[in-house]
Every structure is written in C-alpha cells, then in structure tokens.
Chains A and B, each alone.
Chain A
Amino acid sequence: MGDNRQNSIGYSLPPVWTKLKQHAVFPHFTHDERARYNFLSNLNRYLSTVVAPGVQVAYERRVEPAFKAEHDRTFENRHELREAISRDAYYQLWAALRRCTMEMRQQNGRAAVLRQAEELAQRVQETLKGHEDILRLKPGFKVPAYLRHVDNHLMPGSYHTEYFEGDVANAANYDSGLFVTSGGMLGSLTDGGGRAIAKWVRENYPNFKPKRILDIGCGLGHNTLPIAESFPDAEVWAIDAGAPMLRYGAARAIALGITNVRFVQMDAEDMSEFPDGYFDWVQTTMFLHETGGKAIHKIFREIGRVLAPGGLTLHIEQPQYTPEMSYFEQFMRDWDAYYNAEPYWGHMHDLQPEDLIEEAGIPRANFLQVGVRAVNDLDKPNGTQVREDYGRSPIWNVFGGWKPK
C-alpha cells in the first residue's frame, strides 16, 4: 500500500512516510509522529489533485469573466490577476488550506526534532569521528542578508539558525519533511533531482570526466550525493551558508557510505578560496530562487571565475515565465513566492537564463536548456504520474552551458 501508483479506484496514493530511508543520523519518529506525516502527505495529495484544479475552474468561470465585464479587457499581468482572484471564495479556501498544511508540516517536524535535538547533535558528532576533514565550518561566518531576511518555505530559523553549539535540528527537520511536501515523488532519499541531473549528464556527455565538482547551496546534500556517487573519482565540494545543514549533511553522507564530498561553509558571492578555473562542473539545484536580486549576479560571475575552460555549469530550477505562459499559470507558480515564503522566486523567474549564463562568461552559442524529471526509486514500472501542480511536480528546467576552452 502507499506507492505512487493508481489503485483500483483510480486515485493516486502518496507513499507512506516509512518508505523514506532512515540513515544513521536520521531523527527518531514515534508512531504518532509518523502518522501525522502520513496524514499530511495525503492531505497534500488531495489538495493538489482534487482541490487545486478547482482554482482554475473558478478562475475561468467567474474571476476572469467578472474582470472582463468590469474592465472591458482581460488581465494584463499576473499581479492584476492576483488582486482579482484573491477575492474569490473558492481560491481563498484552497489557499488557506495550502498555507495551513505548510505550517502544520513545519510544526509537526519541529515538534519531533526539537525534543531530540541534543541527541541528534551528539550522533552527528560521533558519526563524523575520523572524518573531520570532510566538514569545514567558519567561526564568525556572516550568513548572507537574503537568507537572514526570510525563513524560506516557512521553516522557522531557516537553514542557518543554530539553537546551541553543534545543533542540527533545522536540518533534521528539513530531511524528515521534504518527503511529505513532495508527496514522496523525489524518492526514498528525496534525491530525485540529483539523480536526474547525474543521469542526464552521464547519458548526454559520456566522455565528460570531471575531476572536481562544485555544488553551490547544497543544503544537507540531498542532491549532491547522487552526483558524487555517479562520479566516484571526482572530488566533490558542497558549499552552503547554513552550519546545521552542512554538519548534518556531512554526517548523512558518511552514514550513506559516500566519502568523496566535502562540506564547506561559504558564501557563494565570494568563493575566493577557490582558484580560477578550479572546477570542471559547477552545479546548483533549486538554489537560485532562494538567493537575492543582487547576489544572483555576483554568484554567476563567481561561477564563471571558478569554472575551468571547457567546464560545465548546470542549474536546476522551475521553468522561467515566458510570454507563452498564461498569467493564470504564472500566478499559480508565483504562489509559493508569496505565500510559501520563497519571495525571490517570482522576481528570479522574470530573468532570462541566457543572460545569467552569459554573466558566467559563457557565450549564448554554448547555452543549453532541457527539462528533466526526477528519478524516483519508489515509482512502480506501471506507475502513473500525478498531474502537474504548478511547480510542485518533480519536473524541472535545467539551464547552463559549456565554458569555451
């Protein structure tokens, strides 16, 4: 029971939470805490497959017609549309429920993790014994302003808050709950993004043998490890601003038997400790939309600097908003930016990826862009895919390019 497969009644069930692989530094969840997450997974699935499609119906049948009747024209941008739809009772119900599940997910995860925070910190420390060289934190490190300014996806304290010396609570909370918000669609280690990009690179560039790989904004390394696993001879550097994430990520990597990744605390706007041309591959995965409007340009200039001639840079993100994308779809994709506390998401998706890649010193002729789908080990061979849910389905836009030799 409980895989991503339609059952006899034609309703797709999310996997039960116990399908999430419990590694050696994973927090302990009681029976009731697991049940709470199971409820939330199912609530999310119901919202995304049954309730959310109704928002489009309400939009088409009454929000847009009412606006047209009043203004004698349709919407001219997604912001105008937001104003109008915000007064629609059905939209309000969906939005309130969606916000509610996000908050409950955080509350439930924190309740489970905070009560064992000390023990988790200890376990991480013990796991890292003899592997101290793979983790480097910097006393007095200054967390970038864009991270301190908001708690991304409503996670109180975000990636960087430490409740005590050696704390990993927020990382453990993140690790436990991503499976719930993604409905298990990222696989048993919630690493479907990393697996997808590793597979795509291997298949498309079989002769590409990177010696050094950099993953920027690695978080706890969910998507770094599949890359490290696929390129076992490469030296992989995973950088992030959040100490709890790095600490937990390093221990998690060891617990999962992956030893070619080092986790370093670093601000991606200033990677001056890496020499020019140090990396053959620079990767980001769902990171750029959590940066800032000025930072993103500095980051791309730094990427261009640390990338070796002939090297590859790739960035997994949600699709950019294009003139062909309806305002309704833009608005729905924008929803998380406003209401799931990922405020840069909306602005970032107005940028042109070609321009960003050019800022990294890669000419437009070398620009590449593809769509990839998560590689999910929980998918059954005869599985059916759950419908697209405005940026929450495991289908992403990958853009990047090869730096000229």
Chain B
Amino acid sequence: MKLNDIVMASDKSKGARPYFFDDPMAERVMNIAMAVATEVAVIRERIDTIERLLEAKGILTQEEIEDFVPTDEQAEERQLWHARYTARILRIVKQELDAVANPEDNKPMHQIADEINEM
C-alpha cells in the first residue's frame, strides 16, 4: 500500500499541543522559521559535500572558493540576485508601505464590492 507520505509526515500526535508563548501566533511563526532554518542547514551540508567531492577530484580547492572575487559582470548578476531575493522575502513589508502611501487603493473588499455593484 502506497502511503501519502507528504501529508502523513506532518500528522499531529494525540493530546492538545501546548503553546508556550503568550501569543500562539508568535510560536507558529517561530516553528515555521525553525523549519526553514533546517532547510538552510541541509543546503549548506549539500554544498559542503559538493565542494569536498570536487576538491577530492582535483577540480577546485577550498582556497579557490575563499579567494574568489567575481568579475564586474558576475558581481552585478549576483547583486541583482540579492536585490530580488530581498524583495521576495520582504514582500509583505513593501505591501504594507503601499497601503500607507496609497490609501485610495486600500479600501476594504466589501466596500469595493458595493461600489462595483453601482458601476
């Protein structure tokens, strides 16, 4: 029998889950952040494996990685990647800023619905 491992892996155990923080929402966010932290460690370990295998095969050395300085073109590509990455992570902050800056585009949806009904 094939099990639905994607869903079942996260099954809850019996008994109510204790929340330790005064605000359970903070604990929820922390749990998601810790899971993401795990995945960063997983990626780091995988890169470490690749680097060590490449080194063992004589393709590169740890020093070459440490001493790597990108060319101007490479540097710009990287910085661009960082900028987009940062924007993705801080999406919600930008959107809250938009809301403050443009209140006319920030009406509650039920109000928009009522207004559209008159259009």
Tell whether A and B belong to one assembly.
Answer: yes
Q: Are A151 and B8 in contact (CB under 8 A)?
A: no
Shortest CB-to-CB span from A167 to chain B, Å, is 8
Residues of B within 8 A of A100 (CB): 30-31, 34
| A155/B13 in contact, CB under 8 A | yes
Residue A111 at the chain B interface, CB threshold 8 Å = yes
| A31-B49 in contact (CB<8A) | yes
A95 close to chain B: CB less than 8 A:
yes
A-B CB proximity, top 6 nearest: A151-B13, A114-B5, A35-B45, A111-B9, A39-B41, A156-B11
Q: Is the CB of A252 closer than 8 A to any CB of chain B?
A: no
Tell me the B24-65 residues at the A interface (CB within 8 Å): 27, 30-31, 34-35, 37-38, 41-42, 45-46, 49
Tell me if A57 is interfacial: C-beta within 8 Å of chain B. no
Residue from A100, A101, A154 with most neighbouring chain B CB atoms (10 Å): A100
Render A91-116 as a binary contact track against B, CB cut-off 8 A, 1 for contact: 11101110111011011101100110
The size of the chain B interface, using a CB distance under 8 A, is 30
Q: Is B1 located at the chain interface by the 8 A CB criterion?
A: yes
Q: Which residues of A contact B20 (CB under 8 A)?
A: 86, 91-93, 95-96, 99
Please tell me if A117 contacts chain B, counting CB pairs below 8 Å: yes
With A36-B38, A99-B18, A338-B18: A163-B3 Cβ-Cβ less than 8 Å: yes
Decide if B34 touches A97 in the complex (CB within 8 Å).
yes
| B107 within 8 A of partner (CB) | no
What is the CA–CA distance of A91 and B22 in the complex, to the nearest angstrom?
12
Is B21 part of the contact surface with A, judged by Cβ < 8 Å?
A: yes
Within 8 A of B (CB), among A149-203: 149-151, 154-158, 163-164, 169
- Whether, in the assembled complex, A40 has its beta carbon less than 8 Å from a beta carbon of chain B, the answer is yes
A54 → chain B closest CB, angstroms: 14
Q: Which residues of B sit under 8 angstroms from A341, Cβ to Cβ?
A: 13-15
CB-nearest residue of chain B relative to A148? Answer: B14
* A–B Cβ pairs within 8 angstroms, 13 of them: A31-B46, A32-B45, A32-B46, A35-B45, A36-B41, A43-B34, A99-B17, A100-B30, A110-B8, A118-B2, A155-B13, A163-B1, A169-B3
Question: B12 an interface residue at 8 Å Cβ cutoff?
Answer: yes
Once the chains are docked, how many angstroms separate the CA of A68 from the CA of B8? 47
B residues less than 8 Å from A164 (CB atoms) = 1, 3
Q: Does B10 sit within 8 A of A, measured CB to CB? A: yes
Q: Is the interface of A mostly helix, strand, loop or mixed?
A: helix
Chain A: how many interface residues by the 8 Å CB criterion?
Answer: 44
- For B34, the chain A residues whose CB sits under 8 A away are 43, 97, 100-101, 104
Q: Contacts of A103 on B, CB cut-off 8 Å?
A: 31
Q: A99-B17, A169-B3 are in contact. List 9 more A-B contacts (CB 8 A).
A: A31-B46, A39-B41, A92-B21, A96-B19, A107-B10, A110-B8, A151-B14, A341-B14, A341-B15
Task: Using A111-B5, A151-B13, A155-B13 as known contacts, say yes or no to A339 and B49 having CB atoms under 8 A apart.
Answer: no
Which residues from chain B contact A4 at a C-beta distance below 8 Å?
A: none
- In the bound complex, what is the Cα–Cα distance between A275 and B41 (angstroms)? 55
Whether, in the assembled complex, A38 has its beta carbon less than 8 Å from a beta carbon of chain B, the answer is yes
Smallest beta-carbon distance B59→chain A, Å? 19
Residues B9 and A114 in contact, CB atoms below 8 Å apart: yes
What residues of chain A lie closer than 8 Å to B27, measured between beta carbons? 96
A97→B37 CA distance, assembly (Å): 13
- Which of B3, B10, B21, B38 touches A96 (beta carbons < 8 Å)? B21
**A154 — which chain B residues lie within 8 A by C-beta?**
13
Q: A40-B38, A155-B13 are in contact. Are A115 and B21 (CB under 8 A)?
A: no
CB neighbours (8 Å) of B42 from chain A are: 32, 35-36, 39
Q: Is the CB of B35 within 8 A of A104?
A: yes
Task: Give Cα A93 to B17, complex, Å.
Answer: 16
A343→B15 CA distance, assembly (Å)? 10
Contact A38 B41 (CB under 8 A): yes
A150/B38 contact (C-beta < 8 A), A86-B20, A115-B5, A164-B1 known:
no
Interchain nearest-CB distance for A244 vs B (Å): 13
Task: Report Cα–Cα, A99/B117, bound state, in Å.
Answer: 50
A339 near B13 with CB under 8 A, answer no
Closest residue of A by beta carbon distance from B18: A339
Q: How distant is the Cα of A155 from the Cα of B14 in the complex, in angstroms?
A: 9
